[in-house]
Amino acid sequence: MSYETIVFAVENGIARLTLNRPDKLNSFNTQMHGEVREALSEVTVRRARVLVLTGAGRGFCAGQDLGDRSVPPGGAAVDLGESIDKYYKPLILTLQGLPLPVIAAVNGVAAGAGANIALACDLVIAARSASFVQAFSKLGLIPDAGGTWVLPRLVGNARALGLTLLGSKLSAEQAAAWGMIWQCVDDAELAGSVDTLAQQLAIAPTRGLAHTKAAIRAGWHSTLPEQLDRERDLQRELGRSADYAEGVAAFAEKRAPRFTGT
């Protein structure tokens, strides 16, 4: 498929999806939503084992393109909930539900829904010049794209309220210090760091990683007994996998494993 608002490719088990509206700081319009949805549907079909999501130019994503929304004259009411149901809810759930690791390479500002799309990914690596902004309060809105759910879990209630009520810019370095993201690296090292991580995950036991990320997120709303049962069931399934057999054999033979993701 030919894309106009994104760049998408799969090579050597690594899918790379780049939001490509740099003149608009890669903010989402209707066309981009459709193209991202189509690309994400191809990730597993094309047997990718890791996905890298990033932005073109100087920004990661500025969230929703407000110019793409038709606002009735005279300050009439606008149904923003329809946009969430149609676009952002499916996007966040798809990113979190992909059966493979998802890396967000935040190369610049991640604002509004753009910040929360990054946080929906499994591993977030940001350039030192990047920043995260919960810009919704400046528009009289609440954080969407999962922001009210994920932020308190990542940084705690006090910091989540400070970030969302004040709309303050949070540097990548501070985000890493708070545990909101995985890593902050120098700008010149971002591409190399992301490539190294993607290559590492592309040869990892993908099935086990997929169950790991799903189990950790499920644990956020499970009791300890429920989570112990979940671990038992998943471990039982993975213990029968080809990757587990290969991992044990490689350990015994003192060689690097050759995982297939099965």
Cα–Cα distance for residue pair 181/164, rounded to 1 Å: 17
Band (pLDDT 50/70/90 cuts) for residue 82 is confident
pTM: 0.92
pLDDT at 102: 98
Helix 147-155 with 157-166: angle, nearest 10 deg: 130
Give the separation between CA 128 and CA 46, rounded to whole angstroms. Answer: 33
**pLDDT surpassing 90 at residue 234:** yes
Domain CATH for 19: 3.90.226.10
**Neighbouring C-beta atoms of residue 236, cutoff 10 Å:** 9
Residue 262 lies in a domain: no
Task: State whether 168 and 132 are in the same domain.
Answer: yes
Q: Report whether pLDDT(67) > 90.
A: no
DSSP strand pairing (131-133 vs 123-127)? unpaired
pLDDT confidence of residue 215: 96
| Statement to judge: residues 59 and 33 lie in one domain | yes
Based on the structure, what is the number of domains in the chain? Answer: 2
Is residue 76 over pLDDT 80? no
Other C-beta atoms lying within 10 Å of the C-beta of residue 119: 25
pLDDT on residue 72: 54
Whether residues 51 and 111 fall in one domain: yes
Residue 220, domain extent: 206-253
pLDDT digits (tens, 9 = 90+) for 196-222: 999 999 999 999 999 999 999 999 999
Q: Is residue 103 one of the residues assigned to a domain? A: yes
Tell me which amino acid residue 123 is. Answer: L
pLDDT score of 128: 97
